[in-house]
């Protein structure tokens, strides 16, 4: 018998959301104040996988397969309780970054499914600690016996049986309808990442695909804890003894102190900077981004700081990848690149240096951007701005950007 494949997919971005530093460490285990989409609190110890009946609300994000009910998102262990086993080609120990997912395959007798395991936590997590947050049933091909293994949705909707009129009677008019030669797609959307797409195929006039997405973090979800250890990438950082020999080098001088970008926030703190309005136990989730203000010598500067590790860490262990300085800033904020390049540098000389060293550059709208090659433009670049009201040849501001090179 040909295996039946159901695609359990998280259609969308690899990253589910923007990380936030606002939480204190102990808040990661507290229940959220919001209600679930159906207006009822999510079970604290049980999940919908062990409940027994479908509801009627399309936004309950439920489905029933072969008599077993699933409500998204569902825990790995609760999904396997329903008889699904992870394919031998996949490992439950595969690590998934925070806010990301990975696709695996599950088998259940003659049936196989593709599942995207979502990590809602602040640290990297194994597949077995992730949740299935989207589900797509595709019964439009193969020899699929929907009487032996029925797929049901809330409101009495059944795949292989229900049609467009049945769906509208159960859920009302869809938010969007797409009509093609092959099928009619009906979309019911509550939010950007909370929606149900139903495909009624014209040949059979029945529902043969259902794509259910609920990327909402479960109420009371334990996002994990923040390690108190200083990451190795931070302890390995060394303050440079001098500027480099090439203005594209990552060594810079900022407010009289030397840094090698990317530089940890702790290096700035060691040089007298102070973080403003940042809680003592504030953190940034694994591979996350946050925006902070720091102050030194009466000057407040906004920084974008990145957690370059897979697990949540305190703000001082995050990295600054970009610095800038312009003629409009107080002189105390002076920025100097290697080769002592600073404000007032000559445009033609910069272009000549770039050409001699094989660098690429873009000269457009009073901005001169120089980078090593086309593959590293986003990771390493220096941008010079020229104030046409004063001089089109002398640098009026500098922005330098360096990320960590992959080993």
Q: Phi-psi region for residue 12, left (φ > 0), alpha (ψ -120 to 50) or beta?
A: left
Alpha carbon of 353 to those of 325, 350, 386: distances in Å?
21, 5, 18
The pLDDT confidence band at residue 37, using thresholds 50, 70 and 90, is very low
When the pLDDT of each residue in the chain is averaged and rounded to a whole number, the result is: 87
As beta bridge partners, residue 184 has 179, 200
CB 284 within 8 A of CB 304: no
Judged by DSSP in three states, 232 sits in helix
- Give pairs for 91-94: CB < 8 Å, separation 24+: 91/127, 92/126, 92/127, 92/128, 93/126, 93/127, 93/128, 94/126, 94/127
Peptide bond into 30 cis (omega under 30): no
The reported pLDDT for the residue numbered 407 is 58
pLDDT tens for 289-302 read 999 999 999 999 99
CB 282 within 8 A of CB 22: yes
69-78, 169-178, 183-192, 195-204: which range is least confident on average?
A: 69-78
Kindly give the residue spans of alpha helices, DSSP state H, lying in 220-259. 232-235
Q: Please, what is the Cα angle at 298 between 293 and 300, to 5 degrees?
A: 20
The pLDDT confidence band at residue 30, using thresholds 50, 70 and 90, is very low
Give the CA dihedral 16, 20, 25, 31, nearest 10 degrees: -60
The pLDDT confidence band at residue 151, using thresholds 50, 70 and 90, is confident
Alpha carbon of 258 to those of 58, 64, 86, 261, 369: distances in Å?
58, 61, 51, 10, 23
Check residues 335 and 68 and name the one with the higher pLDDT: 335
CB 86 within 8 A of CB 106: yes
The edge-to-edge listing of strands for the beta sheet with 289-296 is 263-264, 319-320, 299-306, 289-296, 274-276
The reported pLDDT for the residue numbered 111 is 66
215-224, 262-271, 274-283: which range is least confident on average?
A: 215-224
pLDDT tens for 99-149 read 888 888 887 776 667 888 899 999 999 999 999 988 888 888 777 788 888
22-31, 250-259, 298-307, 370-379: which range is least confident on average?
A: 22-31
First to last CA, the chain: 47
As beta bridge partners, residue 103 has 116
Share of the chain above pLDDT 90, in %: 71
As beta bridge partners, residue 250 has none
In this prediction, residues 198-221 reach a mean pLDDT of: 93
Global pTM reads: 0.75
As beta bridge partners, residue 336 has 253
pLDDT tens for 258-272 read 999 999 999 999 999
As beta bridge partners, residue 311 has none
The reported pLDDT for the residue numbered 141 is 79
Distance CA 379, CA 383 (A): 13
């Amino acid at each position: 018998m040909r295996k039946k494949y159901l695609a359990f997919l998280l259609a969308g971005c690899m990253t589910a959301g923007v990380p936030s530093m606002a939480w204190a460490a102990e808040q990661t285990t507290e229940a959220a104040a919001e209600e679930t989409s159906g207006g009822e609190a999510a079970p604290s110890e049980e999940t919908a996988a062990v409940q027994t009946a479908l509801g009627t609300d399309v936004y309950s994000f439920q489905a029933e397969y072969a008599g077993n009910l699933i409500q998204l998102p569902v825990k790995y262990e609760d999904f396997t309780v329903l008889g699904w086993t992870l394919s031998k080609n996949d490992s439950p120990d595969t690590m998934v970054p925070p806010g990301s997912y990975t696709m695996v395959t599950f088998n259940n007798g003659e049936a196989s499914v593709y599942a995207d395991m979502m990590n809602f936590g602040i640290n990297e997590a194994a597949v077995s600690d992730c949740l299935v947050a989207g589900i797509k049933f595709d019964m439009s091909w193969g020899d699929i016996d929907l009487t032996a293994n029925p797929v049901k949705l809330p409101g009495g909707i059944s795949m292989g049986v229900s049609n467009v009129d049945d769906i509208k009677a159960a859920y009302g008019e869809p938010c969007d309808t797409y009509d093609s030669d092959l099928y009619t797609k009906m979309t019911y959307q509550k939010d950007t990442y909370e929606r149900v797409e139903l495909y009624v195929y014209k040949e059979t006039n029945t529902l043969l695909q259902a794509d259910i997405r609920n990327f909402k973090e479960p109420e009371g979800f334990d996002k994990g804890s923040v390690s108190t250890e200083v990451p190795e990438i931070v302890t390995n950082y060394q303050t440079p003894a001098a500027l480099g020999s090439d203005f594209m080098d990552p060594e810079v001088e900022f407010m009289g102190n030397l840094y090698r970008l990317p530089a940890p926030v702790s290096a700035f703190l060691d040089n007298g900077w102070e973080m403003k309005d940042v809680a003592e136990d504030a953190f940034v989730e694994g591979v996350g981004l946050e925006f902070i203000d720091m102050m030194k010598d009466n000057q407040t500067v906004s920084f974008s700081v990145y957690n370059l590790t897979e697990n949540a860490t305190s703000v001082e262990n995050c990295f600054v990848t970009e610095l800038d300085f312009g003629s409009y800033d107080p002189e105390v904020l002076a920025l100097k690149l290697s080769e002592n390049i600073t404000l007032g540098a000559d445009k033609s000389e910069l272009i000549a240096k770039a050409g001699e060293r094989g660098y690429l550059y873009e000269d457009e709208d009073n901005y001169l951007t120089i980078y090593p090659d086309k593959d590293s433009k986003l990771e390493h670049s220096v941008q010079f701005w020229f104030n046409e009201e004063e001089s089109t040849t002398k640098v009026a501001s500098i922005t330098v950007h360096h990320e960590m090179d992959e080993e």
